[in-house]
Structure 1
Amino acid sequence: MKVEILYVDACPNSREAGERVLAALASVGRADVEIEYRVLATSAEAAASQFAGSPTILVDGVDPFPAESVADLACRVYRIESGLAGVPTVAQLAEVFRGR
């Protein structure tokens, strides 16, 4: 399994996304999976990727939380049980990883 986090430097949620991905991987017994981080610095880079706002988490090249791709270097919002947040929950991520 390949996990990649696409982010922009100005987004405060990229670090927490990485921490939650690590916790979710550990919870499903996949602590061996490495996370690749890719910073996007231009709108052209964002438009050329599956970027849906920062952070975008890709699993095997697919966004498990479908959203429209954007060319803007902006933060992303995820829907979680309690409303909206800048990152998915560990439980949501673990559910994604269980299926892989």
Structure 2
Amino acid sequence: MELTVLVVPECPHTAPLRERLTRVLRGRTDVTVTWREVTDPEEAERLGMHGSPTLLVDGADPFARPDEAPSLSCRVLGLPPPDRLRRALARPDRPWDGGPGVC
């Protein structure tokens, strides 16, 4: 499984998400995590960024709402709790379920 985390410079939610992912992924050897800083709106759109940070699981954002447009902005909803992260990583094909998204 390939995880890509898209962040804007100095995003205050980067460190908390990094800590949460570290806990959730502890012991897993089947996951690669790449952190990528995005500064250009066109790049954000091309990458499918839905606010900072955006967590892409095998290229898809499991926390994006179906009607949510890509954007170079901050996500204002709270970080998903660890159990939602675990579910998203166990079932990356399952769409957003209406709970808090990544902030």
TM-score, shorter chain, exceeding 0.5: yes
> SS of the counterpart of 2:31?
coil
Residues 69-99 of structure 1, C-alpha deviations (whole Å, 9 max, x = no match): 333x311134xxxxxx1x2111110111223
Maintained 8 Å contact 1:53/1:69: no
Determine what percentage of the aligned residue pairs are the same residue.
Answer: 37
Residue 5 of structure 2: aligned partner: 5
Unaligned 5+ segments in structure 1 are: 79-84
Equivalenced residue count is 90
Residue 47 of structure 1: aligned partner: 45
Unaligned 5+ segments in structure 2 are: 93-103
Q: TM (normalized to structure 2)?
A: 0.75
Residue 34 of structure 1: aligned partner: 32
- In 2, the alpha carbon distance for the partners of 1:33 and 1:13 equals 21
Q: TM (normalized to structure 1)?
A: 0.77
Q: What RMSD in Å do the two structures reach over aligned CA positions?
A: 1.8
